[in-house]
Structure 1
Amino acid sequence: MPPLVPVVATWRFRAALLCGLLLPAPLVWLLGLIAYEGGSPLVTAAGITVVPMLTHEERRERQTYEQACHQDGDCEPPLVCFFNMRRVEHYCSDSTCVTDAQCPEGFACRAVKHREDTVVRVCSLVGRRLEGERCEAMPLTPEGGCARGLLCAGTCGRPCQADESQSCPEGFFCAPAPTGALCRPTCESRGCPEGQQCVHLSRGASACMVVHGTNCQRMPCPDAQECRTWAPASQTGQVWMSCVIPCGHSKPDCPEGLVCHLAQCRQPCAPGEPDTCGHGQECTRAHEDGPWLCRTPHAAP
């Protein structure tokens, strides 16, 4: 019988070589995960700070955890004053997930922008929006969210590599975003079908949409007015545009007869009175306790 020592030595060498090749990738990921969940913010290669996910004990130690807040300074680090779009409130929070496995069925762990350089990872409802379609970061219904595997940064897109020109399909380009680089649509060079116009979105993106109102991207607004666009995710391929008088912080008071609501001057109205609003507008209010204002159906609150 031949000696077993050479065989064992060869097997051990191959096993060690295999471990040496395979270990670095999961080890790097694991070390990053430990840093992420250990209470210290993780700074990505793009300079974006990811708010950490605290342990149960670390959350109990912080008296401000899930308490109402107005700014990050109201919260004990590393908690931030996070605005939850589903709950419509600000409260001190950490990230609540790292992977999809930590979310309920039908949800995915996604990065939501807190500031331009900070994101919070939360369980967000998986939606039905496809690549290039408008989306909501924390949708209330599947109609407003991105399908699984897509990121939301105004529009749904697949993750991409900025230095790889082929990482996005035709009609898209790779754009950086706080939530991670993703493919964003562009219609600048290919034009749009009849009845649609190429509308500029954020971060250099553009999409073919049906424009309601005056396209103030093509026709500049009068002095002292600003062009506002509203493209709700629930109304795929449609955008509402109008010239508005801005108001609020460091802005002049609204002209007589108008009221300041959500950073723009609006026409107040009385429900039930005929002709109280102009053509194409309705006397409605965005919230039950909000003021009655003349608004265009489907337009911004």
Structure 2
Amino acid sequence: MLCSFDGGVLHCGACRSDSDCPAGNGCVANRETRRFECLASECEEDAHCFADLVCRPVTTGATGPVIRRCVPAGMRHEGEPCDGLFISQEGACLEGLSCHRGTCSRPCQLQDAASCPEGHVCEEGLNGPACFLDCRSRGCAKGQQCKQLNDAEYQCLSNVEGDCPETPCGDGERCNLRLSQDSGVFWCAPLCNPLHEDSCPAGQVCGIGGPTISTCYRRCDPMALDACGEGWECTTVTEDLTQWGCRPFIP
């Protein structure tokens, strides 16, 4: 992204969050201009796009509407790891498949168990219902493990760091997770309230822990080299991109 750093705040375009945009628009990373822009959806299904383009979500809808744009069809096949939102053709799924929980998945019917292969379940996703492998009953490919994500969700991952939530976090903490294709990092972090500046210990900042949950991150200076130490990166952790914290790095 083409960004500037001014007064401790990162500026990367016309908006920082969905709240900066008109109703029905979302703050979208425009891959052509390399800037954040307020954009509306331009499609609802692949048929609304020109040839060789598919309709895919470019925002998660966590803080505003799900914005869908026409993007190039990807290169990854069913069952292969993928990027949750479109980043490049190399990390996106072939036409007819959607990226669900980091895996290229076929569409299905929620009320029809037979619409998915054996060992899979049909789940609602950003791009409509998609089949998802229940690794507790079917297992994972060689070199992968069936990793618990939360109380009810499991996923096959090749690279895993951290042992929560199987090992419970302490009182007042949450198991944070970062997923990138078939890799995941899991760590315990204190819960916090972004409306209260003192809800995190000294030297920490309250940032995004999940769609509706906030957790504390170690505060860092993005202008300082190796501000967080090996295995961590200094990045924005709040919706408005104004607060910086240390987060585990995934290559």
Normalising to structure 1: TM-score of the pair? 0.58
Question: CA 1:214–1:91 in structure 2 vs 1: closer, same or farther (change >3 Å)?
Answer: same
Decide which of 42, 50, 55 is 1:109's aligned counterpart: 55
Q: Is the 8 A contact 2:204 2:245 kept in 1?
A: no
Q: 1: distance between equivalents of 2:124 and 2:243?
A: 39
Q: Is the 8 A contact 1:211 1:241 kept in 2?
A: no
Q: CA offsets, 1:186-234, max 9 Å, x none?
A: 101233467643123589553221353322021011122210111113x
Match of 1:224 in 2: 172
Q: 2: distance between equivalents of 1:153 and 1:123?
A: 18
Query: Larger % of strand: which?
Result: 2
Count of matched residue pairs: 221
Q: 2: distance between equivalents of 1:137 and 1:245?
A: 26
Question: CA 1:92–1:284 in structure 2 vs 1: closer, same or farther (change >3 Å)?
Answer: closer
Q: 2: distance between equivalents of 1:180 and 1:212?
A: 28
Shift of 1:156: 2.5
Match of 1:30 in 2: none
Q: Is the 8 A contact 1:283 1:292 kept in 2?
A: no
Decide which of 114, 120, 123 is 1:166's aligned counterpart: 114
Q: 1: distance between equivalents of 2:55 and 2:150?
A: 24
Match of 2:184 in 1: 239
Rg larger in structure: 1
Question: CA 1:265–1:201 in structure 2 vs 1: closer, same or farther (change >3 Å)?
Answer: closer
Q: 2: distance between equivalents of 1:99 and 1:128?
A: 19
Q: 1: distance between equivalents of 2:85 and 2:137?
A: 32
Match of 2:146 in 1: 198
Q: Is the 8 A contact 2:75 2:93 kept in 1?
A: yes
Counterpart of 2:56 in structure 1: which amino acid?
A: R
Q: How does 1:148-297 map to 2 (within 5 A)?
A: 148-154=95-101, 155-177=103-125, 179-192=127-140, 196-201=144-149, 205-233=153-181, 237-250=182-195, 253-262=199-208, 263=214, 264-268=216-220, 271-272=224-225, 277=228, 280-282=230-232, 284-285=234-235, 293-297=245-249
Q: 1: distance between equivalents of 2:67 and 2:233?
A: 37
Normalising to structure 2: TM-score of the pair? 0.67
Counterpart of 1:226 in structure 2: which amino acid?
A: R
Q: 1: distance between equivalents of 2:191 and 2:36?
A: 24
Aligned to 2:70, the other structure's residue is in SS state strand
Please state if 1:130 is matched with 2:77.
yes
Q: Is the 8 A contact 1:129 1:144 kept in 2?
A: yes
Aligned to 2:136, the other structure's residue is in SS state coil
Query: Larger % of helix: which?
Result: 1
Q: Is the 8 A contact 2:21 2:38 kept in 1?
A: no
Counterpart of 2:76 in structure 1: which amino acid?
A: R
Q: Is the 8 A contact 2:18 2:64 kept in 1?
A: no
Taking only aligned residues, the RMSD between alpha carbons, in angstroms, comes to 3.9
Match of 1:81 in 2: 25
Q: 1: distance between equivalents of 2:84 and 2:162?
A: 27
Question: CA 1:100–1:191 in structure 2 vs 1: closer, same or farther (change >3 Å)?
Answer: closer
Counterpart of 2:189 in structure 1: which amino acid?
A: V
Pick which of 194-203 and 162-171 moved more: 194-203
Q: CA offsets, 1:213-261, max 9 Å, x none?
A: 322021011122210111113xxx2211111223343565221222344
Q: 1: distance between equivalents of 2:63 and 2:151?
A: 12
Q: 1: distance between equivalents of 2:84 and 2:232?
A: 28
Question: CA 1:256–1:145 in structure 2 vs 1: closer, same or farther (change >3 Å)?
Answer: same
Q: CA offsets, 1:119-152, max 9 Å, x none?
A: 5442133223333444335412123322211123
Q: 2: distance between equivalents of 1:247 and 1:141?
A: 34
